[in-house]
């Protein structure tokens, strides 16, 4: 059994091939950072054009890496949401054409559920129920993962995602896109207590995540003393990056702690999505696991940022449950990642 996964929901074109035992035979990712870098964020129209250009060569490379041919593929999984409409359309239509041409089943995969599946692809020993914090450029979700892999939303962001906040600070500092990795590196040399960021509190008592406040606060710090931030290697930039990152990590972990307090019997803590690459967040999650005596699972960087192996993994899980979408599948920009909601 071989399943082919296709991911094109945002700015990475990726094709992966997994065998029936969830072994990764190929996972090719073509990133578009060089295209969007100068704009400080993903330009949707350019992203879909790049996907069109890259999809076939990426597929060819994946087949070569897996040492197989299209005729060896038994099923096709593709991200159909959430994401950018133009980008999703390229992947979904490409997948449909393959499924039609090869006469093989087509399975639509939810991108965020794909990030959850990346954890199970990498680790065979995750004990459930667990809490999964999925943080990417477009989403920030804290999910309860039940024993049968049912996903319950505990909280999500009401405005920007954490990844978006990193990207926006980098843009304000003229550091290109994506901003997370650059801010992460700068933060390592700064003082996380140099700047203070208010913790978001809502009058309705909700425990939503919110990252637009840290972004605005950072903009104020920059406006107040532009001179201090002018030196690209100066103290002020490093301190701001460190304090900004610490504020984001603190907020992310605060909700995980609430989740642990409220949900009974949590056995694992999981972290996935592109922001799971963040060294500060990884360290904080591991420390929380030690403190609370829970095992921590964090995807390796290659499986944290967008990739088709996670889509193929989720697709294979659905395929084994008998799910088939067929050629009527169409992109759903606002597809929900969870089965039910039980807000913190
Ligand atoms: O999951 P992903 O590849 O794409 C989406 O589904 O959005 O996540 C990309 C996001 C970007 O916002 C990027 O800045 C962020 O992940 N990111 C990081 C780091 N590496 C990537 N954020 C903070 N620290 C990092 N080291
Ligand atoms: Zn993602």
DSSP letter assigned to residue 39 = G
- 266 pLDDT tier (thresholds 50, 70, 90): very high
What HEC string does 304-325 produce? HCCCHHHHHHHHHHHHHCCCCC
- 38 pLDDT tier (thresholds 50, 70, 90): confident
Task: Examine the pLDDT at 41 and tell me if it is beyond 90.
Answer: no
Task: Examine the pLDDT at 40 and tell me if it is beyond 90.
Answer: no
Instruction: Give tens-digit pLDDT for 117-140.
Output: 999 999 999 999 999 999 999 999
Residue 306 alpha carbon, nearest atom of ligand 1: 3
Find the ligand nearest to 164 CA: 1
List 197's β-bridge partners, or say none. Answer: none
Residue of 115, 135, 274 to mutate, ligand 1, most atoms within 8 A of C-beta: 274
Please list, residue by residue across 66-86, b when 16 or more beta carbons sit within 10 angstroms of its beta carbon and e when fewer do. Answer: bebeeeebebbbbbbbbbbeb
**C-alpha closest to that of 245 among 191, 209, 201, 171:** 191
- 37 pLDDT tier (thresholds 50, 70, 90): confident
Residue 273 alpha carbon, nearest atom of ligand 1: 1
Instruction: Give tens-digit pLDDT for 283-305.
Output: 999 999 999 999 999 999 999 99
Residue 139 alpha carbon, nearest atom of ligand 1: 7
How far apart CA 159 and CA 272 sit, in angstroms, is 20
pLDDT averaged over every residue in the chain:
97
- 160 pLDDT tier (thresholds 50, 70, 90): very high
Protein residue with its CA nearest to atom 1 in ligand 1: 274
Neighbours of 150 (CB within 10 A): 14
Enumerate residues with CB within 5 Å of ligand 2 (an ion). 136, 306
- pLDDT (0 to 100) of residue 58: 98
- pLDDT (0 to 100) of residue 167: 95
For residues 71-99, average pLDDT:
98
- 44 pLDDT tier (thresholds 50, 70, 90): very high
Protein residue with its CA nearest to atom 7 in ligand 1: 137
| Residues having CB within 6 Å of any atom of ligand 1 | 10, 136-138, 163, 166-167, 178-181, 184, 273-275, 277-278, 305-306
Distance 274 CA to ligand 2 centre (A): 6
For residues 190-203, average pLDDT:
97
Residue pair 134/116 in contact by the 8 Å Cβ criterion: yes
Task: Examine the pLDDT at 56 and tell me if it is beyond 90.
Answer: yes
């Amino acid at each position: 059994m071989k399943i082919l996964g296709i991911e094109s929901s945002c700015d990475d074109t990726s094709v992966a091939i997994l065998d029936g035992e969830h072994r990764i035979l190929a996972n090719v990712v073509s990133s578009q950072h060089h295209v969007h870098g100068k704009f400080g964020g993903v330009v949707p129209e350019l992203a879909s054009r790049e996907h069109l250009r890259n999809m076939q060569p990426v597929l060819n490379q994946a087949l070569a890496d897996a040492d197989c041919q299209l005729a060896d593929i038994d099923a096709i999984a593709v991200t159909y949401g959430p994401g950018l409409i133009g980008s999703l359309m390229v992947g979904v239509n490409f997948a449909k054409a393959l499924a039609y041409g090869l006469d093989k089943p087509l399975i639509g995969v939810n991108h965020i559920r794909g990030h959850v599946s990346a954890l199970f692809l990498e680790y065979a020993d995750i004990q459930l129920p667990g809490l999964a914090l999925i943080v990417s450029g477009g989403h920030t979700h804290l999910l309860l993962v039940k024993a049968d892999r049912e996903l319950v939303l505990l909280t999500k962001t009401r405005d920007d995602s954490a990844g978006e906040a990193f990207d926006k600070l980098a843009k304000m500092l003229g550091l290109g896109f994506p901003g997370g990795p650059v801010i992460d590196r700068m933060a390592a040399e700064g003082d996380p207590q140099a700047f203070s960021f208010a913790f978001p509190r809502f009058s309705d008592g909700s425990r939503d995540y919110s990252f637009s406040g840290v972004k605005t606060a950072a903009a104020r710090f920059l406006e107040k003393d532009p001179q201090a931030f002018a030196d690209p290697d100066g103290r002020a930039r490093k301190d701001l990056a460190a304090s900004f990152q610490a504020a984001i990590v603190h907020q992310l972990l605060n909700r995980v702690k609430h989740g642990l307090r409220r949900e009974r019997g949590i056995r694992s803590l999981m972290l996935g999505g592109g922001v799971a690459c963040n060294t500060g967040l990884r360290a904080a999650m591991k420390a929380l696991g030690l403190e609370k005596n829970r095992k921590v699972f964090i995807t390796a960087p290659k499986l944290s940022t967008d990739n088709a192996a996670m889509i193929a993994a989720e697709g294979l899980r659905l395929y084994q449950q008998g799910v088939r979408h067929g050629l009527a599948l169409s992109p759903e920009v606002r597809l929900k990642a969870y089965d039910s909601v039980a807000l913190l």
